Amino acid sequence: MADQIDWVALSVFIFFFILVTVMGFLAARWKSGPVSEHIDEWGLGGRQFGTWITWFLLGGDFYTAYTVIAVPALVYAVGAYGFFALPYTIIVFPFVFAVMPLLWKKAHANGYVTAADVVHGTYQSRALELAVAMTGMVATMPYIALQLIGMGVTIKAIGLSGDLPIVAAFIILALYTYSSGLRAPALIAFVKDIMIYIVVLVAVVVVPVKLGGYGVVFAAANDAFAAKGGATGLTLKPAQMLPYATLALGSALAAFMYPHTLTGVFASNSADTIRKNAILLPAYTLLLGLIALLGYMAYAAHIKVASPNDVVPELFKAVFPAWFAGFAFSAIAIGALVPAAVMSIGAANLFTRNVWKAYIDPGISHAGEATVAKLTSLVVKLGALAFTLLLPVQYALDLQLLGGLWILQTFPTLVFGLFTRWFRVEGLLLGWAAGILWGSWTAWSNGLKPLATIDLGGVSTSFYVGLGALILNVAVAAIATVVVAWLSPERHPSAVARS
């Protein structure tokens, strides 16, 4: 990393950061509504976002600053296996097209703000509602921390040291989110996504040209992986195919269970808007594939780093002039602000509706809900900041792995309830608990790795822990539902008569 400040890059970085900060504070007047008088206005932007706003907002939620840092870093470290994010972002959009409009209709018709609201409305169970709400809040915290970590990587690449720059960025983020709610990240997402597109499209053209072409890029990466040996390489090894497929499928099913992605869905103005976005959002998958190639380009540019997370900043510093590197770093940093803001809003909505209102103040007014949500969003961001500053980066990575596993266990409760009421509350709760406990224990015992290994007929088979936990979840929920239904009084009229 740099040992002195690059003033040109820093100046460009500060200019764009100030630009989005001003936009964040002005966002309260954009598509204006009583932001402080109703949680729908603060936490869902008035439920009025059309196709293009939703497209940028969901893109900002889904393709974050840490995505731009971590995907090339993974490709740099392990090769083809790092491309699992591509099939999962292809799988997820047909799911969004089929399921999310139904979820939106249910939420819109009943005034639901969160996934836990939908669950309570479907099953009339406070326990199930609380399970979904707590899972969402806990899974979101390390995700926010990762955004701040991604921002920190770019800030350090400019030459700034210490925690003060991240603290300053956090304060700015906290203030305009408190003031403007979801409108702030929705408006900033326009700038962020345009900047990211410019950075990536320039990089995938200019960098290979400077390095001698894509043939040189792939040859350099292939030589590096051959020297490393093991499972790294430009193509998947046979033993990697099932883990790759299960990781992609499990990640796809988990992606729109997170509070921040569901917040973007609930903020849309119609079910048709969501369908159009499911058609348009794969454009980001193309962008993600191009971003991943930066990991290979780093080998051709002879980039050596202590941590794979430094690959993208060091590549831009080595290949581009300072002004464009500053532009790229500001795009990545702004790419942290959008999802971090939406994540904190999603977590705040969950706490307000499904903890505070459900257990502390059932008679709270709409304005009171908005106030509690605004204050909670500050606490959530403060917690994520403390997590980033006080704990090792690896803790955030490990907890994010567990967060993905945990949030996936809410899938049966939320999604199955849109299509059938066959599952009993008791079964869904037991299934959720079984998935959480088995998945967490398995991941922990494997050193917090995403894969588990079982022996089938003497053959070792690896798969994504989260997907295995989901299968166990559904199996337990189904068995428990059958047992509870068999034991219920409705099956025994004589027992009802005696009672």
Domains along the chain with CATH numbers: 7-394+405-412 (1.20.1730.10)
Least confident residue range of 64-68, 123-127, 480-484: 64-68
pLDDT in the model for residue 284: 83
- pLDDT tens, 307-353? 888 899 999 999 999 999 999 988 888 888 888 889 999 999 999 99
Which of 307, 303, 333 shows the shortest CA–CA distance to 317? 303
In terms of Cβ atoms closer than 10 Å to its own Cβ (0-12, 13-18, 19+), residue 360 is exposed
pLDDT for 440 beyond 90: yes
Contact between 20 and 188 (Cβ < 8 Å): yes
pLDDT for 361 beyond 90: yes
Mean pLDDT of 420-447: 93
- pLDDT tens, 128-173? 999 999 999 999 988 888 888 888 888 888 887 777 777 887 788 8
3-state secondary structure the chain: CCCCCCHHHHHHHHHHHHHHHHHHHHHHHCCCCCCCCCHHHHHHHHHCECHHHHHHHHHHHHCCHHHHHHHHHHHHHHEHHHHHHHHHHHHHHHHHHHHHHHHHHHHHHHCCCCHHHHHHHHHCCHHHHHHHHHHHHHHHHHHHHHHHHHHHHHHHHHCCCCCHHHHHHHHHHHHHHHHHCCHHHHHHHHHHHHHHHHHHHHHHHHHHHHHCCHHHHHHHHHHHHHHHCCCCECCCCHHHHHHHHHHHHHHHHHHCCCHHHHHHHHCECCHHHHHHHHHHCHHHHHHHHHHHCHHHHHHHCCCCCCCHHHHHHHHHHHHCCHHHHHHHHHHHHHHHHHHHHHHHHHHHHHHHHHHHHHHHCCCCCHHHHHHHHHHHHHHHHHHHHHHHHHCCHHHHHHHHHHHHHHHHCCHHHHHHCCCCCCCCHHHHHHHHHHHHHHHHHHHHHCCCCCEEEEEECCEEEEEEHHHHHHHHHHHHHHHHHHHHHHHCHHHCHHHHHHC
pTM of model > 0.95: no
Mean pLDDT of 246-255: 91
pLDDT in the model for residue 493: 45
pLDDT in the model for residue 28: 57
What percent of the chain shows pLDDT beyond 90?
39
- Amino acid sitting at position 168: A
Q: Which of the pair, 389 or 427, is modelled with greater confidence? A: 427
Phi, psi of 391 (to 5 degrees): -115, 155
Q: At what angle do helices 393-408 and 465-487 cross, to 10 degrees?
A: 40
Average pLDDT along the chain: 86
pLDDT for 188 beyond 50: yes
pLDDT in the model for residue 495: 40
Q: What is the CA radius of gyration of the chain?
A: 23
pLDDT in the model for residue 494: 42
